[in-house]
Amino acid sequence: MCVKMLAPVADPSRPHLLFVDDEESLRRPTAERLAERGFEVVEAGSGEQALELLDQFAFDILVTDLRLPGMDGTQVIDAARQRYPAIVAIVITGYGTVRDAVEAIKKGASDFITKPFHFDELMHVIQTSLERGRLRSENAYLRSQLEERYQFEGIIGRSRAMQPLFSMLETVARTASTVLVTGETGTGKEVIAKAIHHNSPRKAQRFVAINCAALPETLLESELFGHEKGSFTGATSTRQGRFELAHKGTIFLDEIGTMSLGLQSKLLRALQERAFERLGGNQTIKVDVRVIAATNAPLKRMIAEGAFREDLFYRLNVFQVTLPPLRDRREDIPLLIKHFVTKFAPEAPPQISQGAMRCMMAFDWPGNVRQLENAVERAVTMRGSRPEIDVGDLLPEMQEAPSPTATPYVDLPDEGLDLNDYLASIEKDLIRRALERTRGNRNRAAEVLRIKRTTLVEKMKRLGLE
């Protein structure tokens, strides 16, 4: 997650390493020694925790134990490689069998190391794997593919925010019902509308789109319903409107919230009767058309203010599809970046440096997917003939990435402070809040804090929380 931090940002030149092992007695001292050797290290005690961290940050290196409770190391590597094809993955196994090693390599591991190991041996494996990764980074990118299950006719995403959307679209596409697509500017509302059409029984017919905000009211009415010759100055011939052109197909009405109340009434009749008259005409024209409307405006607030018809809202809102902003689906950013890189450089897609990936994942993206697409197009152009997009190819406001861990700022008084007491107070507060959230259920509180129940009980005794 991108946050503005009060603590100093970690040195971006230092490689960022995620160390995954459920044995704290091994993980903690190894992580400390790696930090001493110049790595920015983040620890995870389970595969599930590692995936949460990978969703929020583009690590350079992943070192994971093979045998983990729940999700194992090969699954972690597989998930990490799907997100970041350039990540260097190393697996630790206490079994050392050829089968284990081969399976890990198949999942994308660069190398493996067996327990027990010497720290220098681990350093050698990491350094060798980093060098090997740099040499084959371009091929690694070309081998990475977007998995089809993360797409619905051009809609890309694996995040929790997007999965319900895919299920909704599969249901909606099979019907002929009217759909209202809502979401911020740039979230891809027209892409959604096209996806619904192209997965519907009407896919062989026309998809006709019109932006209601782009035209004045008189021209918009003519564009929607057509006009007869002589109906207004400049109407030198009869013209079909978008509703007629979309007969048997789908019409997409973008920015529906900008339509005037008068035109809203005519649109409501067209939706109710599936019929209308051209501007200046008196012949009723019947059409069979599916309507998909979209807006970034708060229509319910507009109804309360008298700026939008309530009956039209309910006519449009048979199915509502709400698109989440990009800041709420950050784990989709790597997939989207790879998609746009391939779009703008199909012959030889450049690699994305982990530093550039970190910066783009850290940015807030107020313009959502459209802004990301434009940023990737610029970066592809700026990188010239180089095989990799780096931080310098991004816009200046995107060239800052946070440390993988957000350390709260603490004012250090001149007389100093008692570190143990300070840390104990933080620990006590977190445990108390976890117990409050779970209504005193220690098993669930331990799960929230990602520690064993016995560890929680020991800490409660030590901190006087019994």
Structure confidence at residue 291 as a pLDDT band (50, 70, 90): very high
Distances (CA, A) of 81 to 60, 104, 130, 233: 11, 12, 15, 62
Same domain membership, residue 316 and residue 200: yes
* CATH number of the domain within which 24 lies: 3.40.50.2300
What is residue 425's predicted lDDT score, i.e. its pLDDT?
Answer: 80
Query: How does DSSP classify residue 37?
Result: T
Same domain membership, residue 206 and residue 126: no
Same domain membership, residue 317 and residue 173: yes
* pLDDT tens figures, 363-372: 989 999 999 9
What is residue 12's predicted lDDT score, i.e. its pLDDT?
Answer: 58
Query: Taking 50 as the threshold, does the pLDDT of residue 68 lie above it?
Result: yes
Query: Taking 50 as the threshold, does the pLDDT of residue 406 lie above it?
Result: no
Question: Among the ranges 225-234, 299-308, 403-412, which has the highest mean pLDDT value?
Answer: 299-308
Helix-strand-coil split of the chain, %, nearest 5: 45, 15, 40
Q: Which residue has the higher pLDDT, 365 or 141?
A: 365
- Asked if 391 contacts 353 with a C-beta cutoff of 8 angstroms, the reply is yes
- Asked if 388 contacts 352 with a C-beta cutoff of 8 angstroms, the reply is yes
Query: Taking 60 as the threshold, does the pLDDT of residue 74 lie above it?
Result: yes
Structure confidence at residue 134 as a pLDDT band (50, 70, 90): low
What is residue 97's predicted lDDT score, i.e. its pLDDT?
Answer: 60
What is residue 375's predicted lDDT score, i.e. its pLDDT?
Answer: 95
**What average pLDDT does the segment 70-93 reach?**
87
**Would 5 be classed as within a structural domain?**
no
What is residue 8's predicted lDDT score, i.e. its pLDDT?
Answer: 31
CA 251 to chain centre: 28
Terminal CA-CA length for the chain = 35
* pLDDT tens figures, 173-218: 999 999 999 999 999 999 999 999 988 999 989 999 999 998 888 7
> Which of 305, 323, 341 is the C-terminal boundary of a domain?
323
Q: Which residue has the higher pLDDT, 104 or 118?
A: 118
- Asked if 281 contacts 231 with a C-beta cutoff of 8 angstroms, the reply is yes
Q: 3-state DSSP call for residue 293?
A: strand
Same domain membership, residue 298 and residue 263: yes
Phi and psi torsions of 250, nearest 5°: -130, 135
Count of C-beta atoms within a 10 Å radius of residue 161: 18
Least reliable range by pLDDT among 37-41, 43-47, 397-401, 449-453: 397-401
Structure confidence at residue 435 as a pLDDT band (50, 70, 90): confident
- Mean predicted lDDT score pLDDT of the chain: 84
Same domain membership, residue 178 and residue 246: yes
What is residue 377's predicted lDDT score, i.e. its pLDDT?
Answer: 95
**Would 1 be classed as within a structural domain?**
no
> Which of 74, 108, 143 is the C-terminal boundary of a domain?
143
Same domain membership, residue 188 and residue 312: yes
Query: Taking 70 as the threshold, does the pLDDT of residue 455 lie above it?
Result: yes
> Which of 293, 323, 353 is the C-terminal boundary of a domain?
323
**Would 351 be classed as within a structural domain?**
no
Q: Name the residue range of residue 441's domain.
A: 419-463
Query: Taking 90 as the threshold, does the pLDDT of residue 311 lie above it?
Result: yes
Same domain membership, residue 125 and residue 179: no
Which residue, 97, 47, 91, 39, is CA-closest to 65? 91
* CATH number of the domain within which 208 lies: 3.40.50.300
**Would 399 be classed as within a structural domain?**
no
Same domain membership, residue 202 and residue 112: no
* pLDDT tens figures, 148-177: 334 465 688 878 888 888 888 888 999 999
Phi and psi torsions of 42, nearest 5°: -120, 135
**Would 358 be classed as within a structural domain?**
no
What is residue 229's predicted lDDT score, i.e. its pLDDT?
Answer: 83
Domains held by the chain: number: 3
Rounded distance between C-alpha atoms, residue 198 and residue 203, angstroms:
5
Same domain membership, residue 172 and residue 134: no
* CATH number of the domain within which 450 lies: 1.10.10.60
Structure confidence at residue 138 as a pLDDT band (50, 70, 90): very low
**Would 446 be classed as within a structural domain?**
yes
- Asked if 198 contacts 249 with a C-beta cutoff of 8 angstroms, the reply is no
Which residue, 14, 79, 1, is CA-closest to 41? 14
3-state DSSP of 327-379? HHCHHHHHHHHHHHHHHHCCCCCCEECHHHHHHHHHCCCCCHHHHHHHHHHHH
This model's pTM is above 0.75 = no
How large a percentage of the chain has pLDDT more than 70? 88
Q: 3-state DSSP call for residue 383?
A: coil
* pLDDT tens figures, 230-263: 777 777 788 888 999 999 999 999 999 999 999 9
Rounded distance between C-alpha atoms, residue 443 and residue 451, angstroms:
10
Same domain membership, residue 215 and residue 133: no
What is residue 403's predicted lDDT score, i.e. its pLDDT?
Answer: 53
What is residue 116's predicted lDDT score, i.e. its pLDDT?
Answer: 81
**Would 80 be classed as within a structural domain?**
yes
What is residue 412's predicted lDDT score, i.e. its pLDDT?
Answer: 59
**Would 428 be classed as within a structural domain?**
yes
Which residue, 466, 464, 463, is CA-closest to 423? 463
Structure confidence at residue 111 as a pLDDT band (50, 70, 90): confident
What is residue 178's predicted lDDT score, i.e. its pLDDT?
Answer: 94
Same domain membership, residue 317 and residue 169: yes
- Asked if 101 contacts 127 with a C-beta cutoff of 8 angstroms, the reply is no
Same domain membership, residue 119 and residue 170: no
* pLDDT tens figures, 7-26: 233 455 688 999 999 988 89
Rounded distance between C-alpha atoms, residue 207 and residue 248, angstroms:
10
Least reliable range by pLDDT among 69-73, 105-109, 385-389: 105-109
**What average pLDDT does the segment 96-124 reach?**
79
Structure confidence at residue 145 as a pLDDT band (50, 70, 90): very low
